[in-house]
Amino acid sequence: MKKLMVIDGNSIVNRAFYGVHMLTTRDGQPTNAVYGFLNILQKLIDEEKPDALCCTFDLKAPTFRHLQYEGYKAQRKGMPEELASQMPILKDVLDAMNIPRYELEGWEADDLIGTIAALDAAAGWDTVIVTGDKDSLQLISDRTRVKLVSTRMGQTTTKEMTPDAFREAYGFESVHMVDLKALMGDASDNIPGVKGIGEKTAMGLIQMYGSIDRLYDHMPDIVTAPETPARPNVVKKLDEGRADAKMSYDLARIHCDAPLEFSPEDAARRDVNAPALYQLFLNLEFSKLIDKMGLKPGPAGGGAPEEKTFTASCTGGFLESRGQMEELLAHWRGLEAVNVLARPDLDAVAVEWGGEERRAVLACKERLDCYNDFLKGLFAPDIKKASHNVKDLMNALLAEGASTGGFVFDTALAAYLLAPTDGSYDLEKLSVTYFNCEAAKSAPFLADDAFGPLGDAEGAMGAMFAQAALIGALRDALAPKIEELGMHELYYGIELPLCPVLAEMERVGFRVDKKALAEFGSMLDERIEADVAAIYEMAGEKFNINSTQQLGRILFDKLNLPPVKKTKTGYSTNAEVLEKLKGQHPIIDSILEYRQYSKLKSTYVEGLSKVIAPDGRIHTSFQNTVTATGRLSSTEPNLQNIPVRTELGAELRKMFVPADDCVLVDADYSQIELRLLAHIADDKTMQEAFKSGTDIHTVTASQVFDVSVGEVSHEQRRRAKAVNFGIVYGISDFSLSQDIGVARWEAKEYMDRYFAKYHGVREYMTDIVVKAKQDGFVATLFGRRRWLPELKSSNFNMRSFGERVALNMPIQGTAADIMKLAMIHVHDRLKEEKLKARLVLQVHDELIVECPEDEAELVKRLLTEEMERVAQLAVPLIATSAAGRSWADAKE
């Protein structure tokens, strides 16, 4: 049978809008609903592979239901502006995809769906209805299925409803879904139903009588029927609500006879209008969808951009001789900057430079005998260079023994500072974002003939020239924006100078005692085996401990522990559930221990063992364009995530050791975020506490609990610490109550006392949100910005998220800026002192240096000095340092 899929457009775009975090173009146009809709659509097309496809939409005009009942949908709020502005765009995208869309004044999209399904059936076609609402369930038949779509946290799930699935779920035929609504009503559509009849009673009545007509025909009998769910008071409500039931039935019933010109062949799948769709996606900055769908620009006038703000055409060719090389290097030394694009393996480098005539040259290892001399000359400090992802290029240069000097601009870093939540800053995306056109992609270097003719974007030479030219164009576009937004010092004084520091740290790596790590893994194996044996014994049988369903059966069915949380698939056995069950059966402690040991073994012992390089070191990658706050992140592997809270997890730090005859020096900031809060909020009480040198958590406890500093108990200090750090992150009284194990009212009381003492913090928390709403962003002390479109969202959860970010980002972001500055200063000071010591790791507020034993005392003092004087605040920055034979020893 041929199959048509019809999309309930308003329903799906609503779910996309609320299920995908806010996305905007560089001009501020929201795009998350369109992007989410397209992802849902593609998922459904892949699943169903329909022969025909169409989409229906509601119109603003009143329908016959509004005329029939004035209160119909009267309580509904208008569409949020962020969504409303995307509706015309979505319809343009559907038109470009050649997906017919149907909308009819006076009729709802549901009626059009019902009419389409009826016409499909008459033509011998099957229909799949895609919606997020249950209204269409009444249309289910042998020829019509419904796929219910739900989106949560960016993940889309579908539930298929067939006649059998509906009967199993509801206990009656799908056609009577409208009867159910007639009794229970529908709050979302403001359909009244029968007053006093809820869902449970309505379900029982329809399961027994099928329809409201049959129900009312049997009204005299239903009280005496022994199996009836009705009681005299229910019968009275039914009798009094007879007219409402009839009206509600008419309102809830989908009409399948709308005056719609339609046949399933009209919606037969067709190829997209690629040039039009390409241009739309360019405007929306959907570069990944362009790649995924293989879209290309059309001929002039056929959808390609009318003009580009940069040209990729260059004159030039291969670098062929030493004489030509020396002439070019001399010329480049006199330029403001050249634009460099290098292959990751440095086997080929394209250099482009502007002027009246854009020129470019490609140096290739296979074609130039003096290639190594070329690299040495090009990357010397006396030639100023702009490139993309400079840190990674520096890493490759260090591997070749080349210099990393002379870099004056990094287009990826600049784009990141300007849009820190974009997540991706590859050249292709930036080309779309800033110039509304695609950048050429480099082809592999296989042989001479793989390069293609000059200017040919499909050839590797043309592609590399185009991308080198793009780097120059991006520098011209981004550099003024950096100045305009007051980020000059942040960019040129912190982000760019940090690149060589990170590149060197990546090259150095962190030594690991492989033998000790293996022994630690063997010890974990023994403990895991002991826990498994204990669990099996207490359960009275063997089972898959890692299976949620099997573990749930043991805990809640066999051992009769009280269920804490149920999901669609059964009992939940996550960490939160098990923590709440602690103390009710010894098996819980064994399961928690088993999970801890298993994670340590798989994630850390096995994971770390796989990435130890031949030099005995782990070479993590430091990502400097990932987090919205400016913090560095560590990947492949993540060395910032080594456990510290559990005693056994902290043992892993003993595996990280220095080279022979060396030690590790560990230095970290003391309570840097609270010190920054005191400075930024200008809270005099908190500033005085830090200036006095008294423990801030003890001071807060004395303020909150109204006792002297000397009378503060350990428990009071623990709770005050939770309040201190919770305030920085905009914690709620509910979350605080969960963290410290007190009632919500008590947590609120702690917070009220806190704000009563720390007036500056209270005012800061109010003022920063107000200012962020006015400005559209928040900033660190060093000018790093985080844009906050969420603050204007009509969605409460999204708006609340924006407010929390507004509170925290200036503090956490400033801490990140200070740490980056400290890394630069420490790195430079180590070189100035001509020490052999080397930075090997940065973890949040902590720096780790590897050095010879005889340099340890100097390095400890040096680290403390540089970290403490990197910024002048209203309170002192305090850093402490210690040396040891392992990371654990140094940390202690």
Q: What's the one-letter identity of residue 204?
A: G
Residue 313: band (very low, low, confident or very high) from pLDDT cuts 50, 70, 90: low
Phi, psi of 842 (to 5 degrees): -125, 130
Cα 668 versus chain centre, distance: 29
Residue 457: band (very low, low, confident or very high) from pLDDT cuts 50, 70, 90: very low
Instruction: Look at 81-90, 425-434, 531-540 and tell me which has the smallest mean pLDDT.
Output: 425-434
Residue 40: band (very low, low, confident or very high) from pLDDT cuts 50, 70, 90: very high
Tell me the pLDDT tens digit for each residue of 320-354: 899 999 999 999 999 999 999 999 889 999 999 97
Packed helices 163-170 and 177-184: angle between N→C axes, nearest 10 degrees: 30
Please report the pLDDT score of residue 298 as a whole number. 57
Please report the pLDDT score of residue 641 as a whole number. 86
Q: Spell out the long-range contacts of 477-483 with Cβ–Cβ below 8 A and sequence spacing 24 or more.
A: 477/309, 477/434, 477/435, 478/411, 478/414, 478/415, 478/418, 478/434, 479/409, 479/414, 481/414, 481/418, 482/414, 482/417, 482/418
Tell me the pLDDT tens digit for each residue of 270-288: 999 988 898 888 888 888 8
Give Cβ neighbours of residue 708 (< 8 Å, ≥ 6 apart). 702
Does 452 score more than 50 pLDDT?
no
Say which DSSP state 656 is in.
Answer: B
- At 428, which helix (H) or strand (E)? helix 427-435
CA-closest candidate to residue 548, choices 569, 565, 529? 569
Residue 448: band (very low, low, confident or very high) from pLDDT cuts 50, 70, 90: very low
Does 35 score more than 60 pLDDT?
yes
CA-closest candidate to residue 740, choices 753, 724, 752, 755? 724
Q: Which residues pair with 151 in a beta bridge?
A: 156
Please report the pLDDT score of residue 455 as a whole number. 44
Tell me the pLDDT tens digit for each residue of 827-861: 999 999 999 999 999 998 999 999 999 999 999 99
Average pLDDT rounded to a whole number, residues 601-619:
95
Distance CA 232, CA 222 (A): 9
CA-closest candidate to residue 845, choices 874, 811, 798? 811
Phi, psi of 419 (to 5 degrees): -145, 75
Does 651 score more than 80 pLDDT?
yes
C-beta of residue 277 within 8 angstroms of C-beta of residue 296: no
* Residue-level length of the chain: 892
Distance CA 384, CA 472 (A): 13
Calculate the alpha carbon distances from 296 to 194, 275, 465, 672 in Å: 57, 7, 20, 50
Q: What 3-state class would DSSP assign to 227?
A: coil
Does 189 score more than 90 pLDDT?
no
CA-closest candidate to residue 377, choices 357, 397, 353, 352? 397
Does 227 score more than 70 pLDDT?
no
Average pLDDT rounded to a whole number, residues 645-661:
89
Distance CA 69, CA 62 (A): 11
Calculate the alpha carbon distances from 694 to 507, 762, 817, 876 in Å: 41, 22, 26, 12
Does 234 score more than 80 pLDDT?
no
Does 488 score more than 90 pLDDT?
yes
- At 777, which helix (H) or strand (E)? strand 777-779
Higher per-residue confidence, 437 vs 401: 401
Please report the pLDDT score of residue 739 as a whole number. 81
Instruction: Look at 131-135, 295-299, 587-591, 696-700 and tell me which has the smallest mean pLDDT.
Output: 295-299
Please report the pLDDT score of residue 155 as a whole number. 73
Does 609 score more than 60 pLDDT?
yes
Q: What's the one-letter identity of residue 29?
A: Q
Q: Which residues pair with 850 in a beta bridge?
A: 664, 838
Does 173 score more than 50 pLDDT?
yes
- At 830, which helix (H) or strand (E)? helix 796-832
Average pLDDT rounded to a whole number, residues 630-654:
87
Q: What 3-state class would DSSP assign to 872?
A: coil
Distance CA 673, CA 812 (A): 7
Distance CA 180, CA 201 (A): 10
Higher per-residue confidence, 536 vs 236: 536
Angle subtended at Cα 514 by Cα 511 and Cα 516, rounded to the nearest 5 degrees: 110
Calculate the alpha carbon distances from 547 to 25, 553, 573 in Å: 43, 10, 9
Please report the pLDDT score of residue 185 as a whole number. 83
Average pLDDT rounded to a whole number, residues 753-758:
89
Distance CA 339, CA 407 (A): 10
Please report the pLDDT score of residue 235 as a whole number. 79
Average pLDDT rounded to a whole number, residues 475-503:
96
Query: Omega before 637 cis (within 30°)?
Result: yes
C-beta of residue 283 within 8 angstroms of C-beta of residue 432: no
Please report the pLDDT score of residue 450 as a whole number. 40
Residue 308: band (very low, low, confident or very high) from pLDDT cuts 50, 70, 90: very low
CA-closest candidate to residue 366, choices 400, 319, 316? 319
In the block, tokens 């796929």 appear at: 147
Distance CA 508, CA 502 (A): 10
Strands of 190-337, DSSP E: 315-318
Say which DSSP state 254 is in.
Answer: P
Q: Which residues pair with 152 in a beta bridge?
A: 155
pTM of structure: 0.75
Average pLDDT rounded to a whole number, residues 557-567:
86
Distance CA 426, CA 401 (A): 26
Residue ranges and CATH numbers for the domains of the chain are: 3-265 (3.40.50.1010), 315-484 (3.30.420.10), 513-611 (1.20.1060.10), 687-779+788-808 (1.10.150.20)
Joined together, the tokens standing for residue 679 give: 């400075």
Please report the pLDDT score of residue 296 as a whole number. 76
Please report the pLDDT score of residue 546 as a whole number. 93
CA-closest candidate to residue 114, choices 164, 69, 56? 56
Please report the pLDDT score of residue 139 as a whole number. 93
Full DSSP string of 491-526: IIIIIHHHHHHHHHHHHH-EEB-HHHHHHHHHHHHH
Distance CA 884, CA 657 (A): 9
Distance CA 735, CA 726 (A): 9
CA-closest candidate to residue 18, choices 614, 665, 795? 795
Average pLDDT rounded to a whole number, residues 105-122:
92
Residue 454: band (very low, low, confident or very high) from pLDDT cuts 50, 70, 90: very low
Average pLDDT, the chain: 88
Joined together, the tokens standing for residue 140 give: 């289910």
Does 515 score more than 70 pLDDT?
yes
Higher per-residue confidence, 355 vs 346: 346
Does 233 score more than 80 pLDDT?
no
Q: What's the one-letter identity of residue 226?
A: P
Residue 164: band (very low, low, confident or very high) from pLDDT cuts 50, 70, 90: very high
Say which DSSP state 62 is in.
Answer: -
Average pLDDT rounded to a whole number, residues 450-457:
43
CA-closest candidate to residue 822, choices 498, 499, 508? 498
Calculate the alpha carbon distances from 410 to 283, 425, 752 in Å: 25, 11, 47
Tell me the pLDDT tens digit for each residue of 356-391: 677 889 999 888 999 999 999 999 999 999 999 999
Distance CA 446, CA 681 (A): 59
Does 644 score more than 90 pLDDT?
no
Q: Is residue 228 classed exposed, middle or buried when 0-12, 13-18 and 19+ CB atoms within 10 A define those classes?
A: middle
Residue 3: band (very low, low, confident or very high) from pLDDT cuts 50, 70, 90: very high
Does 300 score more than 50 pLDDT?
no
Residue 790: band (very low, low, confident or very high) from pLDDT cuts 50, 70, 90: confident
Please report the pLDDT score of residue 738 as a whole number. 80
Sign of CA dihedral 179, 182, 187, 190: positive
Distance CA 851, CA 840 (A): 10
Cα 134 versus chain centre, distance: 30
